[in-house]
Structure 1
Amino acid sequence: MTDTPPDTAQEFSRLAHFPVTFFAVLMGLFGLALALHAAAESFAMAALAARAVLWLGLGCFVAVAAIYLLKLVRHPAAVSAEWHHPVRLAFFPTITISLLLMATAIHGYRPDLAAPLWLLGAAGQGILTIAVISGWISHRAFEVGHLTPAWFIPAVGNVIVPLAGAPLGWVEISWLFFAAGMIFWLILLVLVFNRLIFHAPIPARLFPTLVILIAPPAVAFVSYVRLVGGVDPFAHILLSAAYVFTILVMVQVPKLLRLPFALSWWALSFPLAALSVASFVYGRAQSSDAHLVIGLLVLVTLSVVVGGLLWRTGLAVMRDEICRPE
């Protein structure tokens, strides 16, 4: 006989298996808020929706962060196991990326609140980037099969820093993070394509992370435009690269639709948000109605995707399909 009632033990077990990948949900919600905010400059009706999604994201952030902090306190060994997991390690920076996106989304309403959030997120992102990359280069147990587009998250997440950093006046720091993100994007892009072409296919559970290919050039475009103050040839290259990867991913949609639900499906949300924002930014900067239409179409798709993911995630939680050992 044990001292812990069965129900309590079950709850403890669920808490221990609460995944760090849940923070990817927050990236999707804050990404949608930013996309709606970008759309509001051309389509006024999106302003109210942007504020509503931002509040939803803030509520979810508090809930998810509180649960994961509780997991850290009660089950530190489980958190350590995730940190040493060859795939989940890459998802830890989604915590700081969520903070950076939160700061960016809040900046348009309360710059005074955005500043401390950005500082916390940028500091955490820098620490996690060094920690994760150090883990990669000092660890000899990684195999080619462990490499997925999710590996872009810790390194390329740095290009998110200038989104709020540049408007807040932290220009030099923003350039530092931007440079780091671009360098590691190119390095990881080569590695990921080597894995995709010459090795076994990505497991079905992680296949949705392929959509992450869209995010780095799309976010980098918006950050670069904010840093230099306009669209130049390099900005054109970044946005065009985002569209190229989007077309590549669109070809994979039939395969995606046949896959069962997993939290990795949230990988679809933030890249679409980044593409929508990038299209709106370019459309207004270059007075291109075509790009504004693209931004709107992507935003509509993103809204449907996030709505479906919220419903399916809630269903999975009620069915106890998520917080389980793998």
Structure 2
Amino acid sequence: MSTEATQTASASRVAHFPITFFAIGMGMMGLTLALRAAETSFAHGHAVSQAVLVVSVLMLLAVSVGYILKAMRHPEEVAAEWNHPVRIAFFPAISISLLLLATALLETAPSLATPVWMVATALQGVLALSVLSAWIGHRPFQFSSMTPAWFIPAVGNVIVPLAGARLGYVEISWLFFSAGLIFWVMLLTLVMNRLMFHDPLPGKMLPTMMILVAPPAVAFTAWTRMVEEPGAFGHFLLSVAYVFALLVATQAPKFRQLPFAMSWWALSFPLAALSIASFGYAHASGSEPHLWIGAGLLVLLIAVVALLILRTAQAMRAGKVCVPE
């Protein structure tokens, strides 16, 4: 193969270094916070969640370095991802991972939590506005390009209060929470229209249906950080999250027929968010059933993340990651 052809092939592989890799950061940070919630609920120490936090930070650093190198060597490919109707929605996963990191640092390294949260919040605001601006601009987006991944920018906004409210930034937390909630409602109508009345999701994107669970689950936890009691609205958000989880469960047989892809990491963070919300409701209301629902979801989450790490490692060894689609 000629040098030019080799460079072209290399660039093609780098072009498909997926922005969804940042979903690994979301999944691992979500696992960290779910373990923390379980340790608090069952009055255990935080040794396990702290160990997972270290692993999560290392994985996030590795992914970040990889994407920075890609941006430096192939900026045109990053621009192409930004102009892609599906991949553009994954860019805010960068700031979401940092927001989750700030939340995880609240108890272990509070002096670091504030600067990380401030940087992540500013980045989330810029990315969310940029993505929304692109959506309402004159881009050739087709309705078939819409997937549940379009919720990611909205989910990022409701994550801001998780650490922001505890750090004292209440007004900023309400601003982002309100923005995330209203755009979740708007996008929910569009996404359900897409799922019900148009062509089925491509096989690789089918696991992203799990993202339907994340907005109400995260919104519940954010809501409880800003008010004293969950109340009727909090109960509504958690119940909606359970409804979407049951809906996605009906599609589980289809998942078994699909080959592994990085989009499978979309299963992890929503499961973590629902587990955390269940533990939160159990703590607020004294509901023992919700305590055990949270524990059951955590066990499932651990199994899912372990399998995802194994399958990702196998795919990397086989050269099936970051390949042309």
Report the TM-score range of the alignment, normalised by the length of the smaller protein.
Answer: over 0.9
* Distance (whole Å) between structure 1 residues aligned to residue 109 and residue 162 of structure 2: 15
1:156 touches 1:184 (CA, 8 Å); kept in 2? no
Cα distance in 2, alignment partners of residues 324 and 169 from structure 1: 44
Q: 1: CA distance between counterparts of 2:138 and 2:36?
A: 41
1:167 correspondence with 2:147: no
Q: Distance in 2 between matches of 1:249 and 1:302?
A: 15
| Alpha-carbon displacement from aligned partner over 1:6-45 (angstroms, at most 9, x marks no partner) | 5x87655543431111000110000000000000012345
Q: For residues 270 and 313 of structure 1, do their structure 2 counterparts lie closer, same or farther at Cα, with a shift above 3 Å needed? A: same
Between the aligned partners of 2:315 and 2:214, the Cα distance in structure 1 is: 26
TM-score, length of structure 2 as denominator length: 0.96
Q: Does 1:113 align with 2:116?
A: no
The gaps in structure 1 that reach 5 residues or longer are none
What is the identity, as a one-letter code, of the residue corresponding to 1:314? A
1:148 is displaced (CA, Å) by 0.5
Give the match for residue 126 of structure 1.
125
Q: Deviation digits for residues 195-230 of structure 1, max 9, x if unmatched?
A: 111111111110000000000000000000100122
Cα distance, 1:145–1:9 mapped onto 2, change above 3 Å: closer
Residue 143 of structure 1 is matched in structure 2 by 142
TM-superposed CA distance for 1:258, in Å, is 1.4
- 3-state SS in 1 of match to 2:58: helix
Give the distance between the partners of 1:5 and 1:89, measured in 2 at CA. Answer: 28
Identity %: 56
Does the CA-based 8 Å contact 2:89-2:150 persist in structure 1?
yes
Structure 2: which 5+ runs fail to align?
Answer: none
Distance 1:96 1:282, change over 3 A: same
CA RMSD of aligned residues (A): 1.6
Per the alignment, residue 35 of structure 2 pairs with: 36
Whole-Å separation in 2 of the counterparts to 1:13 and 1:201: 27
What is the correspondence of 1:229-308 to structure 2 with a 5 Å cutoff? 229-308=228-307
Rounded Cα–Cα distance in structure 1 between residues aligned with 2:199 and 2:14: 33
Corresponding position: 1:325 with 2:305: no
Structure 2 counterparts to residues 40-119 of structure 1, below 5 A: 40-45=39-44, 47-119=46-118
> 2:171 and 2:223 mapped to 1: Cα distance?
13
**Do the aligned residues in 1 keep the contact of 2:154 with 2:215 (CA within 8 Å)?**
no
Structure 2 Cα separation of the partners of residues 80 and 281 of structure 1: 40
Distance 1:213 1:51 in 2: 28
Q: Would the aligned equivalents of 1:225 and 1:231 in 2 still touch at CA under 8 Å?
A: yes
Are the counterparts in 1 of residues 24 and 60 from structure 2 also a CA contact under 8 Å?
A: no
> Which letter maps to 2:145?
H
Query: What is the alpha-carbon distance in structure 2 between the residues aligned to residue 16 and residue 250 of structure 1?
Result: 33
Question: What's the offset of the Cα at 1:2?
Answer: 5.9
**Is the 8 Å Cα contact of residues 159 and 177 (structure 1) preserved in structure 2?**
yes
Report deviation, 1:61.
Answer: 1.0
Deviation at 1:111, TM superposition (A): 1.1
Q: How many residues align?
A: 325
Contact 2:218 2:277 in 1 (8 A): yes
Matched, 1:197 2:196: yes
1:219-272 deviation per Cα after TM superposition (whole angstroms, max 9, x unaligned): 000000100122211101001101111111111111112111111100000000
1:322 Cα offset (Å): 1.3
Bigger mean CA deviation after superposition, 227-236 or 85-94: 227-236
Amino acid at match of 1:48: A
Contact map agreement 1:33 1:54 (CA 8 A) in 2: yes
Distance 1:90 1:286, change over 3 A: same
SS of the residue corresponding to residue 85 of structure 1 reads coil
For residues 56-108 of structure 1, give each alpha carbon's deviation from its aligned partner in whole angstroms, at most 9, with x where no partner exists: 11001111101100100000000000000000000000000000001101112
